[in-house]
């Protein structure tokens, strides 16, 4: 039973006792929970936090409950603040709720000054503030945005301060007058972290300090006690062994040479002072609670400026958890896994995996593992290598912390006093570093050259070296003849990964998205898929700006296994083989430190399709079969590429002149005089309107550009005649800034051009307007990978792929010529407008042009509706910059109009399935949704099959109807507690009861579009017939 004092609150707020997400102090924490150690710290009745209950959102602890009242120590504001400090240091919980008999007070876990909110028990509701629904839906963040600021989380503050501390410490003077230097600064900070951890976790305690005649580390640093620090480190080295303490007993301690200013820098870091602003922190670091994975972030500061050259970055904690969960999900025996990371970096993946293995071992043994057991597990199952010595040092540091986590007192005594119990040496046993043994492609690497591992788990370097540099990866790949897109080292890693594994092993890697989605990667993919079988691909392209602080490129997580092919197999890649393709989107779940996945973002993809073309991976980021079919149908009659290449070539394309070219010596530059008599066009002339008049242009800036790297006659030809111009970057609305120009004018290489003969002027004008149309904007969100996940850029090669054909290839040439002529006349009319009035004139004529373009390409009405929904709803939501934009998008909710469109589309799709299967009956479809002001707002699509005449589909806000439907399903035991919780953030809840189907989802607008109705119809058919 739940504690009687807390029971009324949990029930009133909808936190069901049967929920697997509700963890109570009196119950054991599941050993396989990804945050089991943190939950035990929170709920331990004899610990320092002593929470009564914790509720997790999709596995991530989000709110913790305490019992208040007059007798509670939490009545003391100082004790309450100390409690929040400890919880904040865990980096998980967002809300702390203290409840007494009649009143509850909520506080943020972070240090938001004066922040709190109260709630009377009489006002507590299952769909009200602080309810289960309030947290699951993320609605609480809308009311208290400052409580959820990512920059206030312990991991962000710790990493930021680590970087700045190493920077400042490196410039501090040593006692001999020289600078400390980066390497020494890194080592000193790393030691500070490790010693702080040992002290805060009670491993180095008062008896230990008394025995060794030393003070606390904080006091030693504050007092600048160099001899005391040297004595402490010497004792720790003798008692603990390990690779992270003093590196060489023969050398004197680095602390002995440190100047006073250096001690001040370390002291500021230990007190959690905001180094950038020199402001003291309300919440100091407490390494008793900071998770091991977060401390792996010291790698960020250790690498410093070199990380970009090495293409190595800190892997965020929530991403590491996702990766390790995927890697181990289908393991038949976790304790038999032998895990290898060929580019171990900070060690966060190995550390996260090791913690999972400890949990599995403890679950099997039904007891906490001893230190000896943990050491044996580590030495036999966890392995890594890296070029960077600093990386292996930090990996060892992280793994040691995992060994020491939540040790029993007897283990601590043995570690401190028993000569036979030491931290194991990992360097040159489990971890190998440096250019010989640490290089994944070195013949001397003792790990990479043996097929003994069951799992290759890695975030390899993402690097495309320039043409001059070479390394062992180049030699290795050249020797084997493997395709290498742009010499991407990550590609070499995945080729070699299979050579480290037993036949039934698995590969789980974090890769740059470009490696799998870029068109130039097709040769690599086609070849690699004959060697491995993809099991699951998770594309994080939409989270590019949110996953990595440093703006690293978009990533993909791939789970694969070596492909086993026998001589009797008919196919290397069977036509029936499929893999799961998940494309999570940026949403408010990131405020809780979790990555959620909606049903609309899950796909099954045929492997052979990717062997032929990787375009499907791009389309399915936001689209599905409908978009692939429409793209294929529209391209049947031709593309821009057909007009630019091959036997039907009639147009040409090129970029403008280069103002700077590092490959051309200044002495070889040529005069720009041939362009002086022409007008000059800058990219901004193309922004406002799809035509550029002569009066808009300016004189050639001869004073700025008297010479150019090159200027040949073939390029000058593109500076006159009818042509389409466009800059590399699209407009903010993701349209191509195409503009028609007939006036002679030059332009620079940031502008692309498509030119044709004078007789094609009308067609070129029409093509210009087409490139600005909603149809092309729709293609941008379903076909152009760079725009979705890399950067805002559209290239000439992208445009070549777009559907386009002249009237003679149209099904109705005469009608097509008429449309082209009408659009060309609008273009000429705009050309004649005054420059100031032209943009307004273009806005007034745009609707007519859009209609003519859709007519030209023969878009049916349902396709037009989906195209419009895509550009109006989906396109603005792609790849948001920052959490503030994510929160804005979360406010886009279902409305009556959206619900009705969805209901009608769902009814039409179900009728289509019925007719295709020679079925009978009619479908009534009604969508009901709750008021968005209600916490955890939901919408329900109710589909009834009957023999009556079909009724008109409806969509409306109706709180009472939604509540009645959910109550009915609960009473019928069709809506379990777990299902009720999951439907808020994983909207794939489909319940069939008799002749009625219920689809329950959140009210996010993108989940109720016409395109989703098509997929939902298929799900209903599959659930009710077993087909599809």
CATH class of domain segment(s) 634-877 = alpha beta
Q: Computed over its alpha carbons, how large is the radius of gyration of the chain? A: 32
Which three-class secondary structure state does DSSP give residue 531?
Answer: coil
CA–CA gap between residue 986 and residue 524 (Å, rounded): 34
Name the fold adopted by 294-459.
Rossmann fold (3.40.50)
**Percentage of the residues of the chain whose pLDDT score is greater than 90:** 55
In a 13 Å sphere around the CA of 235, the CA atoms on its Cβ side amount to 20
Q: Are 520 and 569 in contact (CB under 8 A)?
A: no
How many other C-beta atoms can be found within 10 angstroms of the C-beta atom of residue 996?
14
CA–CA gap between residue 688 and residue 670 (Å, rounded): 33
pLDDT tier at 382, thresholds 50, 70, 90? very high
Lowest mean pLDDT among 185-189, 261-265, 665-669, 738-742: 185-189
pLDDT tier at 415, thresholds 50, 70, 90? confident
In 3D space, the residue among 899, 901, 874, 870 whose CA is nearest the CA of residue 889 turns out to be: 874
Q: What is the DSSP string of 970-1013?
A: HHTT-S-HHHHHHTTTS--EEEEETTEEEEEEE-BGGGGSHHHH
Where do the domains of the chain lie?
7-140, 154-273, 294-459, 485-622, 634-877, 892-1025
Residue 580 has pLDDT above 50, yes or no: yes
Number of residues that this document lists for the chain: 1028
pLDDT of residue 298: 57
Lowest mean pLDDT among 141-155, 405-419, 523-537: 405-419
pLDDT of residue 628: 96
CA–CA gap between residue 1014 and residue 2 (Å, rounded): 44
Burial state string for 437-463 with b = 16 or more CB within 10 A and e = fewer than 16: bbbbbbeebebbeeeebbbbbbbbbbb
255-290: pLDDT as tens digits = 999 999 999 999 988 887 676 666 667 688 888 888
171-220: pLDDT as tens digits = 999 999 999 998 888 888 888 988 888 898 888 889 889 988 889 999 99
How many other C-beta atoms can be found within 10 angstroms of the C-beta atom of residue 790?
19
Which one has a higher pLDDT value, 119 or 565? 119
pLDDT of residue 755: 97
pLDDT of residue 787: 84
* Arithmetic mean of pLDDT, 318-338: 92
In 3D space, the residue among 333, 293, 298 whose CA is nearest the CA of residue 316 turns out to be: 293
**Cα separation values, 349 from 289, 320, 344, 876, 909, Å:** 19, 6, 8, 34, 45
pLDDT tier at 22, thresholds 50, 70, 90? very high
pTM of the shown model: 0.87
CA–CA gap between residue 833 and residue 847 (Å, rounded): 18
pLDDT of residue 267: 92
pLDDT of residue 243: 61
Beta strands (DSSP E) in 664-730 are: 670-671, 679-680, 698-699, 707-708, 723-727
Residue 410 has pLDDT above 70, yes or no: yes
Going by the DSSP 8-state scheme, the letter that residue 431 receives in this structure is: E
pLDDT tier at 432, thresholds 50, 70, 90? very high
869-922: pLDDT as tens digits = 999 999 998 888 777 777 777 778 889 999 999 999 999 999 999 999 888 889
Q: Are 94 and 150 in contact (CB under 8 A)?
A: no
Residue 570 has pLDDT above 90, yes or no: no
CA–CA gap between residue 166 and residue 161 (Å, rounded): 8
pLDDT of residue 312: 46
pLDDT tier at 698, thresholds 50, 70, 90? very high
915-966: pLDDT as tens digits = 998 888 899 999 999 886 666 678 899 999 987 777 888 888 888 888 888 7
Which one has a higher pLDDT value, 887 or 249? 887
Please give the helix or strand (H or E) that residue 603 lies within, else none: strand 602-606
pLDDT of residue 141: 82
Lowest mean pLDDT among 141-155, 692-706, 736-750: 141-155
Residue 487 has pLDDT above 90, yes or no: no
pLDDT of residue 552: 60
pLDDT tier at 703, thresholds 50, 70, 90? very high
CA–CA gap between residue 182 and residue 184 (Å, rounded): 6
Q: Are 722 and 761 in contact (CB under 8 A)?
A: yes
Identify the sign of the CA torsion 608, 609, 615, 620: negative
823-845: pLDDT as tens digits = 999 999 999 999 889 999 999 99
CA–CA gap between residue 363 and residue 372 (Å, rounded): 17
CA–CA gap between residue 211 and residue 200 (Å, rounded): 18
CA–CA gap between residue 309 and residue 387 (Å, rounded): 12
In 3D space, the residue among 594, 516, 592 whose CA is nearest the CA of residue 554 turns out to be: 516
Mean predicted lDDT score pLDDT of the chain: 88
């Amino acid at each position: 039973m739940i504690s009687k004092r807390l029971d009324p609150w949990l029930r009133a707020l909808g936190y069901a006792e049967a929920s697997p997400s509700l963890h109570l102090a009196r119950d054991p924490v599941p050993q396989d929970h990804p945050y089991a150690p943190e939950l035990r710290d929170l709920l331990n009745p004899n610990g320092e936090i002593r929470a009564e209950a914790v509720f997790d959102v999709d596995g991530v602890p989000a709110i913790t409950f305490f019992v208040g009242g007059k007798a509670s120590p939490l009545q003391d504001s100082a004790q309450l603040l100390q409690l929040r400090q400890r919880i904040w240091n865990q980096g998980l919980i967002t809300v702390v709720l203290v409840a007494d008999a009649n009143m509850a007070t909520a506080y943020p876990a972070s240090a938001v000054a004066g922040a709190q909110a109260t709630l009377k028990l009489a006002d507590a509701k299952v769909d009200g503030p602080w309810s289960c629904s309030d947290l699951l839906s993320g609605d609480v963040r809308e009311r208290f945005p400052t409580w959820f600021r990512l920059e206030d989380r312990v991991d962000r503050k710790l990493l930021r301060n680590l970087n700045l501390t190493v920077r400042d410490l490196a410039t501090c003077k040593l006692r001999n007058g020289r600078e400390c230097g980066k390497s020494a600064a890194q080592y000193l900070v790393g030691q500070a972290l490790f010693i702080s951890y040992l002290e805060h976790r009670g491993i180095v305690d008062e008896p230990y300090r008394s025995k060794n005649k030393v003070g606390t580390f904080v006091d030693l640093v504050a007092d600048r006690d160099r001899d005391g620090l040297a004595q402490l480190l010497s004792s720790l080295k003798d008692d603990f062994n390990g690779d992270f303490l003093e590196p060489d007993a023969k050398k004197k301690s680095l602390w002995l040479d440190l100047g006073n200013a250096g001690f001040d820098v370390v002291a500021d870091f230990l007190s959690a002072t905001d180094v950038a602003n020199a402001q003291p922190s309300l919440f100091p670091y407490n390494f008793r609670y900071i998770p091991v994975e977060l401390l792996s972030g010291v790698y960020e500061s250790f690498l410093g400026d070199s990380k970009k050259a090495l293409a190595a970055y800190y892997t965020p904690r929530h991403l590491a958890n996702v990766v390790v969960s995927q890697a181990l999900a289908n393991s038949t025996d976790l304790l038999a896994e032998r895990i290898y990371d060929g580019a171990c970096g900070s060690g966060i993946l190995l550390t996260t995996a090791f913690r999972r293995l400890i949990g599995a071992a403890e679950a099997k043994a039904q007891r906490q593992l001893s230190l000896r057991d943990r050491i044996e597990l580590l030495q036999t199952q966890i392995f890594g290598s890296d070029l960077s010595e600093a990386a292996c040092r930090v990996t060892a540091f992280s793994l040691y912390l995992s060994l020491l986590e939540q040790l029993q007192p007897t283990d601590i005594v043995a570690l401190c006093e028993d000569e036979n119990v030491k931290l194991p040496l990992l360097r040159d046993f489990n971890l190998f570093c440096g250019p010989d043994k640490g290089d994944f492609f070195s013949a001397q690497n003792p790990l990479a050259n043996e097929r003994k591992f069951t799992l290759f788990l890695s975030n390899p370097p993402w690097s495309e070296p320039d043409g001059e540099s070479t390394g062992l990866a180049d030699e290795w790949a050249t020797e084997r003849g493997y395709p290498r897109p742009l010499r991407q080292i990550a590609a070499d890693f995945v080729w070699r990964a299979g050579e480290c594994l037993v036949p039934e092993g698995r590969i789980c890697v974090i890769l740059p998205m470009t490696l799998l989605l870029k068109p130039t990667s097709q040769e690599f993919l086609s070849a690699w898929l004959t060697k491995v079988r993809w099991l699951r691909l998770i594309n994080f392209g939409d989270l590019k700006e949110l996953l990595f602080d440093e703006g690293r490129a978009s990533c993909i997580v791939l789970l694969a296994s070596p492909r086993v092919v026998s001589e009797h197999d008919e196919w290397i890649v069977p036509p029936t083989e499929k893999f799961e393709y998940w494309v999570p989107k940026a949403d408010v779940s990131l405020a809780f430190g979790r990555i959620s996945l909606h049903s609309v973002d899950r796909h099954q993809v045929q492997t052979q399709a990717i062997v032929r073309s990787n375009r499907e991976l791009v389309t399915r980021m936001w689209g599905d079969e409908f978009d692939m079919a429409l793209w294929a149908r529209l391209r049947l009659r031709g593309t821009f590429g057909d007009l630019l290449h091959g036997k039907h070539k009639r147009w040409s394309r090129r970029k403008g002149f280069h103002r700077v070219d590092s490959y051309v010596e200044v002495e070889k530059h040529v005069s720009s005089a041939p362009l002086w008599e022409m007008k000059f066009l800058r990219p901004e002339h193309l922004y406002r309107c799809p035509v550029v008049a002569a009066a808009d242009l300016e004189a050639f800036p001869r004073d700025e550009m008297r010479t150019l790297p090159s200027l040949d006659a073939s390029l000058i030809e593109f500076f006159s005649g009818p042509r389409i111009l466009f800059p590399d970057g699209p407009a903010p609305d993701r349209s191509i800034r195409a503009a028609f120009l007939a006036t002679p004018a030059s332009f620079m290489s940031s502008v692309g051009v498509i030119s044709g003969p004078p007789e094609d002027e009308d067609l070129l004008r029409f093509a210009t307007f087409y490139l600005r149309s909603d149809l092309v904007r729709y293609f941008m969100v379903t076909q152009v990978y760079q725009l979705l996940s890399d950067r805002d850029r559209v290239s000439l090669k992208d445009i070549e792929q777009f559907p386009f054909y002249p009237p003679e290839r149209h099904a109705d040439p005469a009608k097509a010529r008429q449309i082209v002529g009408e659009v060309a006349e609008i273009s000429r009319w705009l050309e004649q407008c005054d420059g100031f009035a032209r943009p307004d004139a273009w806005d007034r004529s745009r609707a007519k042009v859009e209609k003519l373009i859709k007519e030209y390409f023969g878009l049916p009405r349902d396709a037009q509706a989906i195209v419009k929904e895509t550009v109006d709803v989906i396109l603005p939501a792609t790849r948001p910059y920052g959490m503030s934009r994510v929160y804005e998008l979360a406010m886009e909710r279902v409305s009556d109009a959206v619900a009705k469109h969805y209901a009608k589309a769902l009814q039409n799709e179900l009728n289509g399935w019925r007719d295709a299967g020679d079925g009978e009956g009619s479908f009534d479809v009604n969508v009901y949704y709750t008021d968005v002001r209600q916490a955890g707002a939901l919408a329900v699509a109710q589909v009834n099959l009957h023999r009556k005449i079909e009724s008109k589909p409806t969509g409306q806000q109706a709180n009472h109807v939604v509540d009645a439907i959910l109550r009915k399903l609960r009473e019928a035991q069709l809506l379990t507690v777990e299902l009720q919780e999951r439907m808020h953030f994983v909207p794939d809840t489909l319940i069939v009861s008799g002749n009625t189907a219920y689809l329950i989802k959140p009210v996010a607008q993108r989940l109720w579009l016409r395109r989703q109705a098509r997929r939902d119809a298929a799900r209903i058919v599959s659930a009710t017939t077993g087909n599809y």
